[in-house]
Chain A
Amino acid sequence: MAAETGTPTTLTLKSNDDELFSVAESAAILSVTIRNMVEDGCAGGVIPLDNVDGKTLASVITYMNGISAIPADEEKKKSYRDKFLSDKDFETLADMVLAANYLNMSCLMDAVSAKIAQVMEKKSVGWVRRKFGIENDYTPEEEAAVKEEHKWTFEGVETDDDN
């Protein structure tokens, strides 16, 4: 461990498309999945991450390095997360949330989920369908039945679909 040897321990992560990445152990253990491997002593060689591609893993590692460089200050961490996610398109966010889920990184998962929810907030059903390309495969009768069953969700609701 870093504290014993005086030099930071580095881990090697391998994406599912065989890209290799070096990352400081202190940053990588933000992932509970990786931390468990380290604690169980299975992080000696290369750690294969079968559910994450190279492009996403590179992004996640940028996040790991960035956030672990910030001292324990929740506000600064939050503003780093906001900035980190601000320019990501939905494709990337979807990849990130899946990776965060697989790597068990609750802080990143929370941030990405919140970001996706933010897009849906105060928007009409039609707007959300268009924005995310959701295919509506209800028949008109089925849709009317679901709307009737969930009538309460439309009461007192104002949507803001302009932006």
Chain B
Amino acid sequence: MGGGDDDDRISKLPDDILVDVISRLSLKEAGRTSVLSPRWKNVWKHTPFLNFDADDVLQKIMEHHSSKDLIKIEAPKYVEWVNSVVRAHKSPTLKEFKIRFHLDNKYESSITQWLEFAFSKQVERLELNHENFINPNEYYCLPDFSSFASCKSLKALSLVSVHVTDGAVEFFLRNCPLLEELTVCCSHKFLDLEVCGPSLVLKHLDLQHTYDFRTLKICAPFLTSLKVQITKGLLIENVPMLVDLSLTSYSVKGLISAISCCFSQLEVLCFSLTSINKEVMSEHGNFPEMPKLKKLFIEYKTCGYESLVRLMASLIRKSPSLEEFALQYNYFPPKVRKDRGVEEAMWFPNNHVKVFKLSSDYSRVSDVMVYIVGGILGNCAGLEKIIVDTSDGYFPVNDRHKIERRNKAKQQLEPQIPHHIEFVVL
């Protein structure tokens, strides 16, 4: 685009085009255009996208030695920011309204006003994410939802670290005929939830980190992706479109019985195992065939190398079309016996697997990684790429440690990887 232009062509464009342009900028950048000239003063106020993105502050809070103290300083500023934008905003409708900050129930009246504001403008995508530094006892509670009568336009709703009752979820399911995406994470108010109904158009349902169900029934004809924790009372039926499933489970048995109706149609399975018991070992062989599965992701949040190998082998054996396999493994033992039984279990020939990704916190090194990569290389003749992600782990790390970890992983694994396979360390 050429240099200065004397006739100020851009300011002569009609309002709706200027609004369309600045709606693609971040909210702060859009707001800053008000300073350009009087012509621009009110343009940003018509943007239908209000995404209160404070990633830079959230990052500082994460890295701060006393996160809670910093939140006490930053949260009121965030609330004032949202309030001032809400007061100034002029567009009659909203495509998006996103709140992402550590906010507890102290700000209840402001948050409720924001929700009323968003619903009064027929918001299409609403997110209320109160992040993870808030004590569940101080979560904001979604108020009497009948006041949100004008939620007919809602297409996506995401509530994270907010108390939501089953009644509220069922209200939205009943009253939002366009609702395609629903996320409710870290809520502790559920008891018996039913996501059912012939008129549901729901495509994506995410109920992660929401554990307190007595019963959860899912019966949604258009559902394509589901993320859920397995509990005793999970019942899934009539999900003919479901292809992408993420589950957290304490047991393999629970997993198999809960999703027996949809194994054969799955294309993506993300399976997070959080504890191990004797039952697990004997159940591995019972996985049904997954003929369409292309991507498998195992998040192994427990110890037991032998058990992991058996789980991995039995899942890959049942997935003849598998193309991508990813493993996240952090609780590994520093030393592992080269046990014959385990080596024999490492048998799952599969020529379709092209990509293997290993995510692990490389703060320490274990031979386990060499065995796992060796096992994959030995079984997957068509392998093209190995990715090792060393950035994984619970605590944030500084740049020097990041480089150290990458180097450790490289030194440890590179010697065994043939040249024709691309090796990437993240």
Q: Measuring CB to CB, which residues of chain A are less than 8 angstroms from any residue of chain B?
A: 89-91, 93-94, 97-98, 101, 109, 113-114, 116-117, 119-122, 125, 128-138, 142-143, 146-147, 149-150, 152-157
Q: Which chain B residues lie closer than 8 Å to A149 at the CB level?
A: 34
CA distance A113 to B41 in the complex (A): 19
Q: Which chain B residues lie closer than 8 Å to A94 at the CB level?
A: 9-10, 13
CA distance A101 to B33 in the complex (A): 22
Evaluate contact between A128 and B33: CB separation under 8 angstroms. yes
Q: Can you spell out 10 A-B residue pairs with CB atoms less than 8 angstroms apart?
A: A90-B10, A91-B5, A94-B13, A113-B17, A117-B22, A120-B33, A133-B10, A146-B35, A150-B31, A156-B54
List which B28-46 residues lie within 8 A (CB) of chain A.
Answer: 28-29, 31-41
Evaluate contact between B29 and A121: CB separation under 8 angstroms. yes
Evaluate contact between A155 and B28: CB separation under 8 angstroms. yes
B2 within 8 A of A: yes
15 additional A-B pairs beyond A97-B17, A98-B17, A134-B8, beta carbons within 8 Å, are: A90-B10, A93-B1, A101-B14, A113-B17, A117-B24, A120-B22, A120-B25, A120-B33, A132-B9, A134-B10, A136-B36, A150-B32, A152-B81, A152-B84, A153-B28
B286 within 8 A of A: no
* 10 nearest A-B residue pairs (beta carbon): A133-B5, A153-B31, A117-B24, A153-B32, A132-B10, A90-B1, A113-B20, A113-B21, A89-B2, A156-B56
B6 within 8 A of A: yes
CA distance A109 to B2 in the complex (A): 20
Min Cβ gap A155→B in Å is 7
Evaluate contact between B7 and A136: CB separation under 8 angstroms. no
Q: Which chain B residues lie closer than 8 Å to A128 at the CB level?
A: 33, 36
Evaluate contact between B24 and A90: CB separation under 8 angstroms. no
CA distance A58 to B2 in the complex (A): 21
Q: Which residue of B lies closest to A93 (CB)?
A: B1
Min Cβ gap B426→A in Å is 24
Q: Which chain B residues lie closer than 8 Å to A134 at the CB level?
A: 8, 10-11, 36-37, 39-40
> With contacts A91-B9, A113-B17 known, is A119 near B1, CB below 8 A?
yes
Q: Measuring CB to CB, which residues of chain B are less than 8 angstroms from any residue of chain A?
A: 1-11, 13-14, 16-17, 20-22, 24-25, 28-29, 31-41, 54, 56-57, 81, 84-85
Q: Which chain B residues lie closer than 8 Å to A143 at the CB level?
A: 35
Q: Which chain A residues lie closer than 8 Å to B7 at the CB level?
A: 133
Q: Which residue of A lies closest to B5 (CB)?
A: A133
Q: Which residue of A lies closest to B80 (CB)?
A: A152
Evaluate contact between A153 and B20: CB separation under 8 angstroms. no
CA distance A146 to B43 in the complex (A): 13
CA distance A83 to B1 in the complex (A): 14
CA distance A91 to B361 in the complex (A): 52
> With contacts A90-B5, A109-B20 known, is A125 near B13, CB below 8 A?
no
Evaluate contact between A90 and B9: CB separation under 8 angstroms. yes
Q: Which residue of B lies closest to A156 (CB)?
A: B56
> With contacts A97-B17, A156-B56 known, is A117 near B25, CB below 8 A?
yes
CA distance A91 to B10 in the complex (A): 9
Evaluate contact between A130 and B8: CB separation under 8 angstroms. no
> With contacts A93-B1, A94-B9, A142-B38 known, is A101 near B32, CB below 8 A?
no
Evaluate contact between A90 and B28: CB separation under 8 angstroms. no
Evaluate contact between B2 and A98: CB separation under 8 angstroms. no
> With contacts A93-B1, A125-B32 known, is A156 near B57, CB below 8 A?
yes
Q: Which residue of B lies closest to A115 (CB)?
A: B1
Evaluate contact between A152 and B1: CB separation under 8 angstroms. no
Q: Which chain B residues lie closer than 8 Å to A98 at the CB level?
A: 13-14, 17
Min Cβ gap B327→A in Å is 29
Q: Which chain A residues lie closer than 8 Å to B16 at the CB level?
A: 101
Evaluate contact between A135 and B25: CB separation under 8 angstroms. no
Evaluate contact between B8 and A113: CB separation under 8 angstroms. no
Q: Which chain B residues lie closer than 8 Å to A133 at the CB level?
A: 4-10
Evaluate contact between A117 and B9: CB separation under 8 angstroms. no
CA distance A142 to B24 in the complex (A): 27
Min Cβ gap B345→A in Å is 41
Q: Which chain A residues lie closer than 8 Å to B31 at the CB level?
A: 150, 152-153
Q: Which residue of A lies closest to B82 (CB)?
A: A152
Evaluate contact between A131 and B4: CB separation under 8 angstroms. yes
Q: Which chain A residues lie closer than 8 Å to B41 at the CB level?
A: 146
Evaluate contact between B34 and A150: CB separation under 8 angstroms. yes
Q: Which chain B residues lie closer than 8 Å to A138 at the CB level?
A: 35, 37-38
CA distance A89 to B21 in the complex (A): 16
CA distance A20 to B14 in the complex (A): 27
CA distance A142 to B14 in the complex (A): 23
Q: Which chain A residues lie closer than 8 Å to B22 at the CB level?
A: 117, 120
CA distance A152 to B20 in the complex (A): 22
Q: Which residue of B lies closest to A91 (CB)?
A: B9
CA distance A150 to B36 in the complex (A): 12
CA distance A72 to B336 in the complex (A): 51
CA distance A4 to B5 in the complex (A): 50
Evaluate contact between B32 and A116: CB separation under 8 angstroms. no
Min Cβ gap A51→B in Å is 11
Evaluate contact between A147 and B35: CB separation under 8 angstroms. yes
CA distance A3 to B78 in the complex (A): 58
Q: Which chain B residues lie closer than 8 Å to A152 at the CB level?
A: 28, 31, 81, 84-85
